[in-house]
Amino acid sequence: MKKLILKAGRDRPIRQRQPWIFSGAIEKFGREEAGSTVRVESSEGELLGHAFLSLPNKSLAARMVSFGTQDPDEAIVESIKRALVLRKSLNLDSDALRLINGEGDYLPGLIVDSYAGHLVLQISNAGWEKRREWLKDLLISECQPLSIYEKSVGPSRKEERLEDREGQIYGETPEVVTVNEGDVKLYVPIHKGQKTGLFIDQREMRGFLRNLSSGKKVLNLFSYTGGFSLAALKGGANFAVSVDRSELALSLIEPQLEENGFDQKRHQSIQADVFSYVREQKKLDFDLIIVDPPALAKHAKDRVAAARAYKDLNREVMRRITKETMILTCSCSAAVDDKLFSQVISQAALEANVMAKVVGRHQMAPDHPVSLFHPQGSYLKSLLLISFDLAGKMD
Ligand code: SAH
């Protein structure tokens, strides 16, 4: 097996179990194709673990799959088994589960979600690409899935010069799978939907919000397939409005209302660009508003522009509230951390001239574990605010 030797004094992150090796830390590595497993050694020749090699000219040059002297193939199998055992022990009241969460399960770049027994596989680097068939067989024997659908797409694949790959690799996955999140039935458009079909990472927040919804009028901005709206209606909301630009996502809301036994009159779908929609409204006369945009910063270099976009969006929402309004505002940009997000939202409130108290923060979904040694894995953040106009009186 080829070696990757770190520069003197650059072994500390690896000793601290960070999974990513950047090219600047590397003294030399043998010529090997992307996806190969290499021994990672300190400058003194100590074995620190094993890593999947990326392309030689990449800044993120390798990703650790094992630490210390453990055999990497054994370590990978063990990490997969540990990930699966964890999901069982979590006892979550849902059959939409993330079974493998990449770096959070010490399996960099590997995502496996399960929707009522149908697996969706997402591979984002060459290491897994090489082991794809092996991985498929392992998932079949360990999970006994009904089917496996592959959705290996996204920017990190491009960086590894891997073509996107999507399609059925085992059994048959229905276009739309129905899952039970608690006692709410959700439709998951696996083939044509976003991500692997559902934003499983917001499960706990949907539950949280549901408990706050009784008697409320709810606006769900960037609703996707209406998960928050359905949770709110289940919690007794009077009325919910879902706004998204995706026709496919919105088209699934009506049948889900029916499936859950909700009166269609309690919901309205609006297909629109949310940024323009908000600006076009004179007032947003709602009790509860959800603002859950897509990642506005895709890379660290977009951090400042994204912070501004979050600020502007939230300010425009806050400016239009008509009474004491609960706002659940979220960011799934890894580059915008908790601290920056709080600063941005407080600046938005100042500019909108509203008072705001934080009454809740993001509750992460435990099937999306974050490695203690790789806090960057914690990308999703939310603030639940009670906000009211500075000049306003009690309603
Ligand atoms: N809250 C959702 C997930 C939202 S994901 C849930 O819990 O399921 C972000 C959504 O924003 C996607 O559905 C995407 O279609 C939508 N979107 C992205 N840009 C948009 C825009 N400019 N206007 C409206 N919707 C947009």
* CA distance linking residue 114 with residue 98, whole number of Å: 6
User: Are the CB atoms for 382 and 352 separated by under 8 Å?
Assistant: no
* Closest ligand 1 atom to Cα of 222: 11
**Distance (Å) from CA 341 to ligand 1 centroid:** 19
- Nearest atom (ligand 1) to Cα of 224: 13
Residue of 199, 219, 224 to mutate, ligand 1, most atoms within 8 A of C-beta: 224
What DSSP element (H or E) covers 232? helix 227-234
CA-nearest residue for atom 18, ligand 1, is 294
Q: Does domain 199-389 have CATH number 3.30.70.270?
A: no
| C-alpha closest to that of 65 among 10, 119, 131 | 131
Q: Ligand 1 pocket test: which of 194, 202, 205, 222 has the largest number of ligand atoms within 8 Å of its C-beta?
A: 222
* In this structure, CATH architecture of domain 73-171: 2-Layer Sandwich (3.30)
Q: Which of 332, 348, 365, 380 is catalytic?
A: 332
Report which DSSP code applies to 201: G
Question: Residue of the nearest CA to atom 22 in ligand 1?
Answer: 273
pLDDT score for 199? 98
Contact in structure between 49 and 79 (CB atoms under 8 Å):
no
Q: At what angle do helices 203-210 and 227-234 cross, to 10 degrees?
A: 30
* pLDDT, position 58: 78
* Biggest alpha carbon–alpha carbon distance for the chain: 71
Where do the structural domains in the chain lie, given as residue ranges? Answer: 3-70, 73-171, 199-389
Active site residue 143: no
- Could you read off the pLDDT tens digit of each residue along the chain, which spans 395 residues? 789 999 999 999 999 999 999 999 999 877 778 899 999 999 999 999 999 999 877 789 999 999 999 999 999 999 999 999 999 999 999 999 999 999 999 999 999 999 999 999 999 999 999 999 999 999 999 999 999 999 999 888 988 889 999 999 999 999 999 999 999 999 999 999 999 999 999 999 999 999 999 999 999 999 999 999 999 999 999 999 999 999 999 999 999 999 999 999 999 999 999 999 999 999 999 999 999 999 998 888 889 999 999 999 999 999 999 999 999 999 999 899 999 999 999 999 999 999 999 999 999 999 999 999 999 899 999 999 999 987 765 66
Q: Which CATH architecture has domain 3-70?
A: Roll (2.30)
Q: Residue 370: its pLDDT value, please?
A: 97
- pTM: predicted TM-score of the whole model, two decimal places: 0.96
Residue type at 279 in one-letter notation:
R
Judged by DSSP in three states, 79 sits in helix
Ligand 1 atom showing the smallest separation from residue 198 Cα: 8
pLDDT of residue 268: 98
pLDDT at 395: 60
User: What is the predicted pLDDT for the residue at 195?
Assistant: 94
Q: Ligand 1 pocket: which residues have CB below 6 Å?
A: 194, 199, 202, 222-224, 227-228, 244-246, 249, 273-275, 292, 294
Contact 330, 366 (CB under 8 A): no
CA 244 / ligand 1 centre spacing (Å): 6
State how far the Cα of 49 lies from the Cα of 245, in Å rounded to an integer. Answer: 46
Q: In ligand 1, which atom is closest to the CA atom of 330?
A: 1
